[in-house]
Amino acid sequence: MCRSLSSDAAYLRSVLDSVQGPVVLVGHSYGGSVITQAAAGDPDVKALVYIAAFIPDAGESAGELAAKFPGSTLAETLNTAFYPLPGGRTGTELTIKQDKFRKQFAADVPATTAAIMAATQRPVSILALEEKATKAAWKDIRSYALIAGQDYNIPPKAQQWMAERADARTVTVEDASHAVSVSEPAAVTDLIKRTARDTR
């Protein structure tokens, strides 16, 4: 995952096709872009839950949505590396510098936990962040969103704007970082449980 939106969404769609019965699909960060594309046209997906996530429309990329409102400091914290692509081409991938990770990504997470997260983070390719969505499942599927009020990756104003556009049922955790699933697991779990109840 995190290599290209089209391939990541295709992989997720293959998983969805193997699942029997109704599905509540949850995405965090770039994962919001993936579920938005993968779920389009799937009648078994009854709801989408966006956790501090991108909610793109067709023709939009995660990168441009992150820059739509001020507040992201991600760019200045990144390391770049390169990986091989078919045909001898080279791709570029990004990680957050370990000494900047906690402040940037997980300021409300205990230092020891944040250090483990920094050391085990998965890179994301520039292609994944720049590739434009071709579908927007939220136009046809009920959506929910959790806004992280102290997010320095995806500005809270951008999260709110995307959630409002998608007519998502929204909750805000005012002091939460981008790592809200780790720092505020109860809030995330409660929203997912609420979504499941609402879709019964």
What are 66-122's pLDDT values in tens digits? 999 999 999 999 999 999 988 999 999 999 999 999 999 999 999 999 999 999 999
Give pLDDT tens digits for 21-74.
999 999 999 999 999 999 999 999 999 999 999 999 999 999 999 999 999 999
- For the record, the structure tokens of 52 come out as 């501090």
Question: What pairs with residue 53 in β-bridges?
Answer: 29
Closest CA to 151 of 56, 31, 70: 70
Model's pTM, two decimal places? 0.96
| Torsion region of 199: left, alpha or beta (phi above 0 gives left; psi -120 to 50 gives alpha) | alpha
CB-based contacts of 193, cutoff 8 Å, min separation 6: none
Q: How confident is the model at residue 199 (pLDDT cuts 50, 70, 90)?
A: very high
- For the record, the structure tokens of 188 come out as 């995330």
Say if residues 135 and 56 touch (Cβ distance below 8 Å): no
Closest CA to 168 of 73, 48, 86: 48
**Other C-beta atoms lying within 10 Å of the C-beta of residue 165:** 13
- Rounded to the nearest angstrom, the gap between the alpha carbon of residue 67 and the centroid of all alpha carbons in its chain is 15
